[in-house]
A = this chain, B = another copy of it.
Amino acid sequence: MIVEVSSHNTNIATDDTQKKRAGRVRKKKEKIIFEAAELEFAEKGFEGATIDSIAKRAGLARPNVHYYFDNKLKLYGEVLSNILELWDTALNDISIDDQPYEALRTYITRKIEFSRKHPLSSRIFASEIISGAPHLKAYYQEAYQEWFSRKLEIFDSWSRSGKIDKVDPAHLLFLIWSSTQHYADFEVQIASALGKETLEDKDYLSAAETLTAVITKGIGCPPDMGR
């Protein structure tokens, strides 16, 4: 039942066994279906999503969805791996040589931008984790742990060289990750708190500013620290 999610595949149609090469129509329809699927999965989760509903969102007959993506699991797998890929390319990355303030400011800003540009992806991912990541086990035993420990090393080295305070690097990473992720996953709640229907550009901007200010000062590398 576990999807083998490959984090890097440029072509959406993975199994070339009997799949026809992508014509114009195919590409367009795949995109329409894919986007409808993202909406559906974000709103209902994997278990709650139905192919019928995806077909309706896409404006197609249900068997047509089966024609392009064999079944719900395959479609979901594509959506998931697309998310991981997006993530990889959009957030490359913090380097050990960077100055903490600049590096964190950039990272936080990019992560928040990502939350604004790809809220559905973020939410689908969150739903998957919340429900125990049943389709991501593979990924979690490999790529993620590596990504995580690379970040830890950077924070550790910053901490050892006195560039930042001695703070538990893992929890610091969780702090950065969760507070930025929040703006995608809990957008409804945030908008409601701010008395709006939906968040605007300036909200994301001031979020990034505030998070950067509080977190960098909180670990002892505020902007005015100089060098």
Contacts and interface: CB of A to CB of B under 8 A. Distances in A.
Tell me how many chains of this kind the complex includes: 2
A181 interface: yes
A219 interface: yes
A140 B218 contact: no
Contacts of A174: 179, 182-183, 190, 193, 207
Interface string A185-227: 1101110111100000000001101110111111110000000
A213 B166 CA distance: 11
Contacts of A23: none
Interface of A: 42-49, 123, 126-127, 129-133, 140-141, 144-145, 148, 165, 167-168, 170-175, 177-179, 181-183, 185-186, 188-190, 192-195, 206-207, 209-211, 213-220
Given A45-B127, A171-B207, 14 more contacts: A44-B48, A45-B48, A45-B131, A48-B48, A126-B126, A130-B186, A133-B189, A140-B192, A144-B192, A172-B214, A174-B182, A174-B190, A174-B207, A178-B178
